[in-house]
Amino acid sequence: MSLLLQATIGGFAPEFNVIPLVDRIFHFSVFSNLVGHFIYKLRSFECNFCKLFFHLWNNGGPNWQSEWR
């Protein structure tokens, strides 16, 4: 997943610190608030191989179970 992020938005794959949460849902980190908002404004990325959707987590961490509902 980190290599896919590197290919789509740039950066250096190991620094994303990707953590799998559940099937096809991942948590990753970025360097700054500015970079995070840039990615958030993308909302999604699609190519022939994959589709990515970006969401900001609230309160400094993932609450994916309630947000999934």
pLDDT tens sequence across 3-58: 999 998 888 999 999 999 888 888 898 888 888 888 888 889 998 988 999 887 75
Which pLDDT score, from 0 to 100, does residue 62 have?
59
Which pLDDT score, from 0 to 100, does residue 2 have?
93
**Backbone φ and ψ of 15, nearest 5°:** -80, -10
Which pLDDT score, from 0 to 100, does residue 29 have?
87
